[in-house]
Amino acid sequence: MKIIFAAAAALALTACASANPSSNKYSYAASDTAFTGWARFSNGEFQLYGDEDQVLQPFSRPCVSGAASRDEMAQAMGDLRGQKVRITGRTVAWTEAVNGRIEHARSDIRNDCGGPFVILADDIRPAN
């Protein structure tokens, strides 16, 4: 009975993993200054995803964390949640974090995506 349950659980996990494959149309690099993708806002930062499907899935990866000024973040959270956005700014290596965060314009980035760099955004707007 335990073997059947374990096999069924493994099969279910495999089905979940393959049911929502991400094509990750966009790849982000630390040298980029403009980023286009779908944004999720939480914990005072944004997570930027390459695919629209990813923003709908909790704990989806890969993504890039970042933040804009507190005012810009408040506006974006109200207007752009789950939408395709264009973000301009610069990146900083996560190794520069102090006490598990990087501060940018009174916003804290905790790097919920766990990537090697984060985005310090100057502007967040709808993508055309």
Q: Where are the domains of the chain?
A: 21-126
pTM of the model: 0.79
Domain 21-126 in CATH 2.60.40: no
Tens-digit pLDDT string for the chain (128 aa): 444 434 444 434 333 343 444 444 558 999 999 999 999 998 889 999 999 999 888 878 899 999 999 999 999 999 998 789 999 999 999 999 999 999 999 999 999 999 999 999 999 999 97
Q: 38-48: per-residue pLDDT in tens? A: 999 988 899 99
> pLDDT by residue (tens digit) across 12-29?
433 334 344 444 455 899
Largest CA distance in the chain: 57
Residue 115 has a CB neighbour count (10 Å cut-off) of: 21
> Which of 58, 60, 41, 59 shows the shortest CA–CA distance to 50?
60
